[in-house]
Chains A and B, each alone.
Chain A
């Protein structure tokens, strides 16, 4: 899957928030709520069509309006990005990532214990 830009990600987030599908008008309404930057109509259309091309979205026509359905769930996306990140930055080595998280106090010992427990449960399934 291709990478998507920051602005495209914002749009995807909106669609995921709406339960995986949203009308164009819904998306516009959400964007208007965000007051930092203005989103012009054609800008949104361009970004949406890019997402469709990259196979992140599917279009369904309801009458004259377009409905955008997410092809990729948020979890799938996060997984994909995590893998990319892992490979790129840590050469695929999870241990190094975790040690960084710990060393940099990104991950607390309590959180680590939780993860270990979670992992044990997973293995026993």
Chain B
């Protein structure tokens, strides 16, 4: 539901943008491009209102730009952080998840309500239109009399021949209508008013109506009506309807007069005026095709008739280019689509850059070496490579050369020999260490901080306060043991699992075990899991074996499932049988998932 409403609103917005753009440009193209083009170009707008294809080409659309803004605002308020550092992933605590869930429920309810409201209105509107039209047609039918004069039918037959219509169209006259109309999808019929038309007049009327029929203008108009029903809440959509109605008549006139001479054009204009009479109560320009309806429109049409010029080849070419331009706008405006890759919710909060995608492909870490805190990233994608401010070349100990890239914030260090040496040594250490770092080929330096050995504890304090997890964890290892212990406690008590997870690699075994016991007592699964991961598999197994019985007895699924990962297959199977015997279905399921 949410996705649907979001997509609908986005479609409405995008469509309106394109609609307004085209309307704005109308004053330019009104007298240059053919009326026919001006009629069909609105199809592109109609599809922009209807079709949720995000973009045809790989460009950043207006919608993406707008959505990214609102999404990052959302991110900041939710406080969602996902940081990958080495192999440890920090997780949020359960109570925050619960809070999120209850707000999700109210959100879902609101969206469902909106969806319900939308569809009720849309359906009612559509039904009304259909019923109104049916009613109109029915009443007209009742009062319509067949035209039987052979002379008139012959004129109609001639027009049908000119327009190459094989099946003859029925002809009636009716005293209730003001101007000739055409109705019916499957059995088309032209209905004249009871005016006494001259033969020539009838000829033009028939031509006009038959062209409407041939081009399936009725279907086009109904299509637009459906879109209007879908976007009933958007005031601009009614503009679209009006524009298209106007363009419909103008383009039909154009088609009729395209093969007429001046004298005949004048005659056609005369017919228009004759056909414009007292407005009847039965006008319905949206859903049926008429000959002449409002005075204003007549003026426009008369003007267009006399000003008609066959379009030169140059104009035709310009038209094509313009159409392509409109299509590009269609694409550039874009639309919201769920699972849009460019707007990903896992934007790394600590980076101030835009357009960071896929934290998986992007590796970044902080290193502290020679009193320099170096924040480095590598394996970036093409987009981010463009914001390079400076670069430097270093020679590693194996004589290979490597280019280091600096951003705006760090470009001053590109010339600093000491910094470059520190970077070089860090890279060499990483390569030798086999800690699972992928081969670094193109490192990017985000940040350099000089932290003197006296300033270390102040720096750690500052980064803890300012939530600078990278700086904090990089320098932490240089603290004295007592201060470290203080921070373990602080991070645990303040529930900062992300900080905790980064620094526990410095803990000794006994500390870890004591914290594990604490985590079990405090029912803190996240901390438990993270701590357990720090032990060697043998140590972990020993500990788990002792505790798992307790978890089983107390029905502690979370702890049980975390512990289960450290058991052997044989032990897991034993527990599976146990769960089966005790008929503890939930446990059975958890264990079987882990086998």
The yes or no verdict on A and B being binding partners is yes
A7:B148 contact, CB within 8 angstroms: yes
Q: Is B150 an interface residue (CB 8 A)?
A: yes
- For residue A95, which residues in chain B have a CB less than 8 angstroms away from its CB? none
12 contacts between A and B (CB under 8 A): A5-B148, A6-B148, A7-B150, A37-B150, A40-B154, A41-B157, A42-B157, A45-B168, A46-B153, A47-B148, A47-B153, A49-B168
- For residue A50, which residues in chain B have a CB less than 8 angstroms away from its CB? 146
A43:B146 contact, CB within 8 angstroms: no
User: Which residues of chain B in 155-181 are interfacial with respect to chain A, using CB atoms and an 8 Å cutoff?
Assistant: 156-158, 160-161, 168, 170-171
- Distance in angstroms between the alpha carbons of A10 and B146 in the assembled complex: 16
- For residue B153, which residues in chain A have a CB less than 8 angstroms away from its CB? 7, 40, 42-43, 46-47
A37:B151 contact, CB within 8 angstroms: yes
- Interface SS of chain B: helix, strand, loop or mixed? helix
- Distance in angstroms between the alpha carbons of A121 and B146 in the assembled complex: 44
- For residue B382, which residues in chain A have a CB less than 8 angstroms away from its CB? none
B170:A39 contact, CB within 8 angstroms: no
A46:B171 contact, CB within 8 angstroms: yes
A42:B156 contact, CB within 8 angstroms: yes
Give, as a whole number of angstroms, the nearest-CB distance from B155 to chain A: 9
Q: Is B458 an interface residue (CB 8 A)?
A: no
Other A-B contacts than A39-B150, A46-B153, 10 sampled, CB-CB below 8 A, are A6-B148, A7-B149, A7-B153, A39-B154, A42-B160, A43-B154, A45-B168, A46-B171, A47-B148, A50-B146
Give, as a whole number of angstroms, the nearest-CB distance from A80 to chain B: 18
Q: Chain B interface (Cβ within 8 Å of chain A)?
A: 146, 148-151, 153-154, 156-158, 160-161, 168, 170-171
Q: Is A125 an interface residue (CB 8 A)?
A: no
Q: Is A8 an interface residue (CB 8 A)?
A: yes
- Distance in angstroms between the alpha carbons of A41 and B160 in the assembled complex: 10
- Distance in angstroms between the alpha carbons of A93 and B166 in the assembled complex: 49
User: Which residues of chain A in 1-35 are interfacial with respect to chain B, using CB atoms and an 8 Å cutoff?
Assistant: 5-8
Give, as a whole number of angstroms, the nearest-CB distance from B150 to chain A: 5
The 8 closest A-B pairs by CB, nearest first: A5-B148, A40-B157, A42-B157, A42-B168, A43-B153, A40-B154, A46-B168, A43-B157
- For residue A76, which residues in chain B have a CB less than 8 angstroms away from its CB? none
Q: Is A105 an interface residue (CB 8 A)?
A: no
- Distance in angstroms between the alpha carbons of A7 and B149 in the assembled complex: 7
Q: Is A110 an interface residue (CB 8 A)?
A: no
Report, as a range, how many residues of chain A touch the other chain.
10 to 19
Give, as a whole number of angstroms, the nearest-CB distance from B270 to chain A: 25
User: Can you name the residue of chain B whose Cβ is closest to the Cβ of A9?
Assistant: B148
- Distance in angstroms between the alpha carbons of A47 and B154 in the assembled complex: 11
B170:A46 contact, CB within 8 angstroms: yes
Give, as a whole number of angstroms, the nearest-CB distance from B7 to chain A: 48
Give, as a whole number of angstroms, the nearest-CB distance from B141 to chain A: 13
- Distance in angstroms between the alpha carbons of A6 and B158 in the assembled complex: 21
- Distance in angstroms between the alpha carbons of A49 and B150 in the assembled complex: 15
- Distance in angstroms between the alpha carbons of A124 and B483 in the assembled complex: 138
- For residue B148, which residues in chain A have a CB less than 8 angstroms away from its CB? 5-8, 47
- For residue B154, which residues in chain A have a CB less than 8 angstroms away from its CB? 38-40, 43
- Distance in angstroms between the alpha carbons of A122 and B153 in the assembled complex: 46
- For residue A40, which residues in chain B have a CB less than 8 angstroms away from its CB? 153-154, 157-158
| Residue in B149, B151, B156, B168 with the greatest tally of chain A CB atoms within 10 Å | B168
Give, as a whole number of angstroms, the nearest-CB distance from B142 to chain A: 14
Give, as a whole number of angstroms, the nearest-CB distance from B164 to chain A: 12
Q: Tell me which of A5, A38, A42, A45 contacts B146 (CB under 8 A).
A: A5
- Distance in angstroms between the alpha carbons of A7 and B146 in the assembled complex: 12
Give, as a whole number of angstroms, the nearest-CB distance from B445 to chain A: 83
- For residue B170, which residues in chain A have a CB less than 8 angstroms away from its CB? 46
- Distance in angstroms between the alpha carbons of A37 and B161 in the assembled complex: 19
Give, as a whole number of angstroms, the nearest-CB distance from B199 to chain A: 13
- For residue A38, which residues in chain B have a CB less than 8 angstroms away from its CB? 154
Interface 0/1 of A101-116, CB less than 8 Å to B? 0000000000000000
| Residue in A41, A43, A45, A47 with the greatest tally of chain B CB atoms within 10 Å | A43
- Distance in angstroms between the alpha carbons of A45 and B167 in the assembled complex: 9
User: Can you name the residue of chain A whose Cβ is closest to the Cβ of B161?
Assistant: A42
- Distance in angstroms between the alpha carbons of A94 and B416 in the assembled complex: 127
- Distance in angstroms between the alpha carbons of A46 and B160 in the assembled complex: 12
User: Can you name the residue of chain B whose Cβ is closest to the Cβ of A31?
Assistant: B150
Give, as a whole number of angstroms, the nearest-CB distance from A12 to chain B: 13
- For residue B146, which residues in chain A have a CB less than 8 angstroms away from its CB? 5, 50
User: Can you name the residue of chain A whose Cβ is closest to the Cβ of B151?
Assistant: A37
- Distance in angstroms between the alpha carbons of A8 and B146 in the assembled complex: 11
| Residue in B150, B153, B168 with the greatest tally of chain A CB atoms within 10 Å | B150
- For residue A6, which residues in chain B have a CB less than 8 angstroms away from its CB? 148
- For residue B157, which residues in chain A have a CB less than 8 angstroms away from its CB? 40-43
- Distance in angstroms between the alpha carbons of A6 and B146 in the assembled complex: 12
- For residue A8, which residues in chain B have a CB less than 8 angstroms away from its CB? 148
B161:A43 contact, CB within 8 angstroms: no
- For residue A39, which residues in chain B have a CB less than 8 angstroms away from its CB? 150, 154
- For residue A47, which residues in chain B have a CB less than 8 angstroms away from its CB? 148, 153
- Distance in angstroms between the alpha carbons of A45 and B156 in the assembled complex: 12
Interface 0/1 of A31-71, CB less than 8 Å to B? 00000011111110111011000000000000000000000
